[in-house]
Chain A
């Protein structure tokens, strides 16, 4: 098996006495869609910042595409697209101009930047909004523009921090579908953080459950469910599995009762 795209070993980040990320060991393979699931303040964003080389780990090591983000942040950023939580754009530039500017920062020539930006805006469904000022974009449009922005540099990996926050259900569905399609078609590894289990369940190959800086469990949903609730059948596991797992961790193992209640 080829080497995993994202590897972390005993990764720890401390802010004074507070441990934001505690001994995280994680491997994400090429072309995988990995969901980082956890409540707010669990350390998901901090982990992502460390993967991008935007903050230094207190201890442990990270490899992204075989590179060390602490030593070679620029090379990592060339390969990895990062969509921050609640992304912003230059309000007085049009959506297209925003993308062209990003493309220039990535070293594309002006002509190439223009055609690539147009292509990607079509791809994410913003073909009619190219000349509209980014300040007038709706939340969902901004997220899609953010995705196009990330794709400009032909990334090997894209990291999305709470990408569906504040989107309506249909917008969320479309957005997630877009991510999965992209990942499948172009073999892009996707790491995506969320606190909505349904979304994670819909799109991710594998899930890591993250609470208070610790990775409590990882694996695909069925196997996680089987691990935790060996009595439940695999069919039920697929149906309610993640919810049960979530409750198991966040509400102190009350998952089975909830499960019974929903029945």
Chain B
């Protein structure tokens, strides 16, 4: 009886009419007070522009961008010089000829996407580690907060400006590789290859944004820029050098004997996969290699039943994306968590002069 009454109320058009009539003016009022208490429009933009020009003019970013550019050109060169041997006519690879530019290596230099996985974190850390604390040490933060702008503009613009710099850089690099490939090879990328390259670029931006946010958090947390830079680098080193070691020890400790039951071997494989996936760089390398190599069909352990009847062949882009969806979600989630941490830490802090 009760349920039907409730249903009736929700189905009643007059009820909704009344509700909307009450809600809309309220929302309007909220919106106008929100607007009037906000900053002048355009302030956000001019703050972002100023931060960006600071980044672009600073030596540190110039040096890092130069290093990344050099490695990009270096790996592009090795890829271009080795590409004629790499592709045999009639193989599956032939279809995704263009993507080879990003993944091919003759052993002297790692391929482009491995370089980005390695240098990207450094770029992110260097863009963010002194965002807030330098501003405070110079005495400009308290002056900035005394301006009629919402407080979160300070941290939001820092993040947005750095993100713009990263995005511009990565799109520039990707288009540079595509352009060089076009000129040297004379073969244009297929639409699906192009989309793969774009998703790879977006993924790299998310990955660098993760490290950017982490170092942004350290810059709010630590007063000294050196401390904050070192903590960022420590986390990065931990995940690139030490975590794999620790993971290996753990994995060896629980490894079952070759004669263990199939189920325990399967569980062990899953455990191994899980432990490696706690590393953000592993997430990134799994996601990028799947995106750039359409022949990668799975990431975790597979049983024989799952393999049964599978035809070897490249995946379409949608399927590749679906395959790396967990990795993608994990990376974006980590990025958001880091940003929320730094946002909260910044908003709750009392800012005094110097």
Interface of A toward B, CB cutoff 8 Å: 45, 49, 52, 54-55, 72-75, 77-78, 81-82, 84-92, 101-102, 104-107, 146, 149, 153, 161
- CB atoms of B40 and A75 under 8 A apart: no
B21 at the interface (CB under 8 A from A): no
Given contacts A77-B147, A78-B148, A90-B140, contact A106 B40 (CB under 8 A): yes
- CB atoms of A153 and B350 under 8 A apart: no
Minimum Cβ distance to chain A for residue B54 (Å): 8
Of the listed stretches B42-50, B93-101, B306-314, name the one at the interface; the rest are far from the partner chain: B42-50
Interchain Cβ contacts under 8 Å between A and B, 11 examples: A54-B350, A55-B350, A74-B38, A84-B143, A85-B354, A86-B354, A88-B143, A102-B147, A106-B147, A107-B42, A107-B148
- CB atoms of B148 and A153 under 8 A apart: yes
- CB atoms of A104 and B37 under 8 A apart: no
Collect the chain A residues with CB atoms within 8 Å of residue B43's CB: 104-105, 107
How long is the Cα–Cα vector from A56 to B139 in the complex, in angstroms? 21
Minimum Cβ distance to chain B for residue A116 (Å): 15
Q: Nearest 7 CB-CB pairs, A to B?
A: A88-B139, A107-B40, A84-B353, A82-B146, A84-B142, A88-B138, A77-B148
Task: Please tell me the size bucket of the interface on B.
Answer: 20 to 34
Collect the chain B residues with CB atoms within 8 Å of residue A102's CB: 143, 147
B150 at the interface (CB under 8 A from A): yes
How long is the Cα–Cα vector from A45 to B352 in the complex, in angstroms? 8
Most buried by A among B43, B150, B353: B353
How long is the Cα–Cα vector from A49 to B42 in the complex, in angstroms? 27
Closest-by-CB residue of B relative to A149 is B143
- CB atoms of A84 and B146 under 8 A apart: yes
Mark interface residues in B33-59 (1 if CB within 8 Å of A CB, else 0).
Answer: 000111110110011001000100100
- CB atoms of B139 and A105 under 8 A apart: no
> Which residue of A54, A72, A75, A90 is within 8 Å of B145 (Cβ)?
A54
How long is the Cα–Cα vector from A45 to B350 in the complex, in angstroms? 12
Closest-by-CB residue of A relative to B146 is A82
How long is the Cα–Cα vector from A72 to B143 in the complex, in angstroms? 18
Minimum Cβ distance to chain A for residue B286 (Å): 41
Closest-by-CB residue of B relative to A110 is B46
Collect the chain A residues with CB atoms within 8 Å of residue B139's CB: 84, 86-89
Collect the chain A residues with CB atoms within 8 Å of residue B350's CB: 49, 54-55
- CB atoms of A91 and B142 under 8 A apart: no
Most buried by A among B50, B57, B150: B50
Collect the chain A residues with CB atoms within 8 Å of residue B274's CB: none
B247 at the interface (CB under 8 A from A): no
How long is the Cα–Cα vector from A89 to B139 in the complex, in angstroms? 7
How long is the Cα–Cα vector from A54 to B140 in the complex, in angstroms? 15
B321 at the interface (CB under 8 A from A): no
How long is the Cα–Cα vector from A104 to B142 in the complex, in angstroms? 17
Collect the chain B residues with CB atoms within 8 Å of residue A85's CB: 353-354
Collect the chain B residues with CB atoms within 8 Å of residue A84's CB: 139, 142-143, 146, 353
- CB atoms of A54 and B146 under 8 A apart: yes
